[in-house]
Copies of this chain bind each other. A is one copy, B any other.
Amino acid sequence: MSVDATVTPESWDEQLRESGLRVTAGRRAALEFLDDHPHSSAADILAGLSDDIPSISAQSVHNIVHDLTRHELVRRIDLPDSGSARYETRTHDNHHHVQCVVCGRIEDVDCVVGHAPCLTPDDVHGMTVLTAEITFRGVCPECEPTLRDRDPQY
């Protein structure tokens, strides 16, 4: 499967250059793939890029997402029961996520209250809060019947 070309490919090149990163086929392809497939794991990215770039290696993908994360071109997400870290291209809009506890499916949720970091807790033990990441956990429509079979109380 190849990536959708409707997203202007040049914009990634510009963003890479603006971050002081060199433009390589792997980085461009990873950004395009993540834009089309948000919440992908490193393994997902490797599988998605292997057709276009047969030489790509798992380590390269790890290097790429690591570098892109450090320069905030992608955002890394760590969730329970997901096996591995996920990545997405939406980096500066302070959105959040819903995760189905049954199938693990992840979807975006727009900022809940006001502006980033969205919430102002009382006692943060003297820490300077930079961001607030919210993960809603629940059950998606497709999984509710499954859950009801196992646990009629729901």
Residue contact B134 to A134, C-beta cutoff 8 Å: yes
Q: Inside 8 A of A115's CB, which chain B residues have their CB?
A: none
Number of interface residues of A (CB under 8 A): 39
Contact call B136/A127, Cβ cutoff below 8 A: yes
Q: Are A109 and B138 in contact (CB under 8 A)?
A: no
Check if B144 sits within 8 Å of A138, measured CB to CB: no
A93-129 contacts to B (CB < 8 Å)? 96, 98, 100-101, 107, 109-110, 112-113, 117, 119-129
Is B134 a contact partner of A133 (Cβ separation < 8 A)?
A: yes
Q: List 30 A-B contacts (CB under 8 A).
A: A98-B127, A100-B127, A107-B125, A109-B121, A110-B122, A112-B119, A112-B120, A112-B122, A113-B113, A113-B119, A117-B136, A124-B136, A126-B141, A127-B136, A127-B138, A127-B139, A127-B140, A128-B139, A128-B144, A129-B137, A129-B138, A131-B136, A131-B137, A132-B134, A132-B135, A132-B136, A133-B134, A133-B136, A133-B137, A134-B135
* A→B interface (CB under 8 Å): 76, 78-80, 85, 96, 98, 100-101, 107, 109-110, 112-113, 117, 119-141, 144
